[in-house]
A and B are shown apart, each in its own frame.
Chain A
Amino acid sequence: MKPARFDYVRAESIAHAVEVLANAGGDGKVLAGGQSLMPMMNFRLVKPSVLVDINHIPGLDRIELGPGAVRLGALVRHRMTAQDLQVARHIPVLHHAMKHVAHLTVRNRGTFCGSVCHADPAAEMPMMTLLLDGTIHVASPHGTRTMAARDFLTGALTTALAADEMVTAVDLVPPAAGTGWGFEEFSRRHGDYALAAIAVLMERADGRVRNPRIAMMGIADTALRLTAVEAALAGREGRAHVFDEAAELIVASITPNTDLNASADYRRHLAGALARRALSQAWDRAGALSGGDTP
Chain B
Amino acid sequence: MTHAMTLTVNGLTYTGVVDARLLLSDFLRHELGLTGTHVGCEHGVCGACTILLDGRSARSCLTLAIQADGATIETVEGLGRMSDLGRVQQAFRDHHGLQCGFCTPGFLMTITDMLRHHSLDSDAEIREALSGNICRCTGYQHIVDAVRELARERGPLK
Contact = CB atoms under 8 A, between A and B. Distances in A.
A23 to B, nearest CB: 15
Interface string B56-99: 11110111101101000000000000000000000000000000
B124 to A, nearest CB: 10
12 contacts: A1-B26, A3-B21, A10-B66, A51-B64, A53-B64, A104-B118, A104-B128, A104-B132, A105-B58, A108-B58, A109-B62, A191-B131
**What are the 4 A-B residue pairs with the smallest beta carbon separation, nearest first?**
A103-B132, A8-B20, A39-B43, A38-B62
A39 B129 contact: no
Nearest to A108: B56
In terms of DSSP, what is the predominant structure of the interface of chain B? mixed
A106 B113 CA distance: 13
B107 to A, nearest CB: 11
A34 interface: yes
B7 to A, nearest CB: 14
Contacts, number: 97
Which of A104, A109, A190 has the largest number of chain B CB atoms within 10 A? A104
A43 B64 contact: no
Q: Which of A4, A108, A189, A191 has the most CB of B within 10 A?
A: A108
Given A53-B64, A104-B129, A105-B50, 7 more contacts: A1-B22, A1-B23, A2-B23, A104-B131, A105-B113, A105-B132, A109-B62
Nearest to A106: B132
Q: Which of B62, B128, B129 has the most CB of A within 10 A?
A: B62
